[in-house]
Amino acid sequence: MNVTTKAIVVHSLRYGEADLIITLFTKTSGLRSYLQRGVLKSKKGKIRSSFFQPLMLLEIEAFHKNKGTLERIKEVKVGTHYKTLHTNLIKSSLVFFIADILKNAIQEEEENTELFNYLETAILWLDSNDGIANFHITFLIKLTQYLGFFPDTSTMEYAYFNLQEGVFQPSETNLYCQSGLAVSKLKEFLGTTFEASMTIGLSKSTRSELLSMLLVYFELHLHGFKKPKSLSVLSEIFK
């Protein structure tokens, strides 16, 4: 079946001498993997390896067999030419972190337009703004809304956050209940915009603690989720 769709690059892997296996999150067909033969040696071809950097926004025409096998891209063009995303060191580190998150968090080979639109909006916001110290925190919290485990905000007056259940409660009931400054800061982030969240004050230790808590939250709610390998880089950058 021929498909024309927007797509976000999640991951690419060298295969053999000149081939790439590319994982894209497409607007019409969810997560798909493609085998592009000869793309690493082709300097004059229409499809170039530079198209498949992490989080590139593309427009593709592809052939989908819909059999769970590797698909084939027929044509591709860059949907948006970024201004800063792959040239700014801090933003590039965030790009790899987010791509790692998406590689582990998204698994469905089906249309999820709301999730795609959120990711596109978030990526373009990151490309266009300079104050980004809290971006990855806000990104993860908002992402839970589209993956189905956004925290229940109806009892936010309580001190403990139960990561296993995704609720705030008055006392500790299991090993995954947390309280303290990180939980207080989490409450500040819930329901905010990207712009507003950048004004939330976080020390290096609190930002690190909140990020660790969120990653445990993802592990508890997404089967097979693993902490990103790029996590240590973020710890060095956001001091």
Provide the pLDDT confidence category of residue 107 given band limits of 50, 70 and 90.
confident
pLDDT of residue 44: 66
Confidence at 95, pLDDT banded by 50, 70, 90: very high
109-158, pLDDT tens digit by residue?
A: 888 999 999 999 999 999 999 999 999 999 999 999 999 999 999 999 99
Mean pLDDT is lowest, of 71-75, 88-92, 194-198, 226-230, for: 226-230
223, exposed or middle or buried, with CB in 10 Å at 0-12, 13-18, 19+?
Answer: exposed
One-letter identity of residue 199: T
- pLDDT of the residue at 235: 67
CA gap 187, 192 in Å, rounded: 10
Residue 170, amino acid: P
What is the 3-state secondary structure of 171-206?
CCCCCCEECCHHHHHHHHHCCCCHHHHCCCCCCHHH
Helix 89-105 with 113-128: angle, nearest 10 deg: 170
Which pLDDT tens digit goes with each residue over 25-42?
999 999 999 998 888 887
Stretch 44-57: mean pLDDT: 87
Domains of the chain and any CATH numbers:
2-78 (2.40.50.140), 89-237 (1.20.1440.120)
pLDDT tier at 61 (50, 70, 90 boundaries)? very high
Does pLDDT of 66 surpass 80? no
